[in-house]
Chain A
Amino acid sequence: GAGVSQSPSNKVTEKGKDVELRCDPISGHTALYWYRQSLGQGLEFLIYFQGNSAPDKSGLPSDRFSAERTGGSVSTLTIQRTQQEDSAVYLCASRQQGSTDTQYFGPGTRLTVL
């Protein structure tokens, strides 16, 4: 079946602008995660959604970052007033709630803030 998809694949923006990144999880996966991968670094957890529960926002680096998940499926990560240090690859992952722990990653959105 279809895997996790993300759009856009690349986004170049000017400092101070807002950006929206989209994630389509695997159909039926109720858990959705956003991670950030800076150049040459590991993945950093940002936010987690599970069903209709309140999201776990403990990884968001500042209040400029927010995310929504509408209808329990598609998620949007919004970064307001982007800064150069926000440049990174933003990865989304989904997981089927239940016995499996496996997270499946999307291809990521490469964000470049000029």
Chain B
Amino acid sequence: SQQGEEDPQALSIQEGENATMNCSYKTSINNLQWYRQNSGRGLVHLILIRSNEREKHSGRLRVTLDTSKKSSSLLITASRAADTASYFCATRSNTGNQFYFGTGTSLTVIP
């Protein structure tokens, strides 16, 4: 990927457990976003964190951003089978005109 790399590439957990995905990027960013993609569907925006923010919450989602390490993490708490999907991080450069998506983490939540 030109910009974002997610890890792990695949993650399998039991329902009720927490899932953590990480994203690393290369250049300075304006913001970082996480998207979810269900099989055969388009991506759906989950949460956005700005470069001057360190942590953000939305429901069962918690995102952290460390601009010094050029990395972000997405934590899904109390996972559900319906959370099974691929998760992508996306960045917008701080020059404003470059957009990149990571390689994605495939999450499987076993009921």
Question: Is chain B found bound to chain A in the same assembly?
Answer: no
Residues in chain B within 8 A of chain A (CB atoms): none
Residues in chain A within 8 A of chain B (CB atoms): none
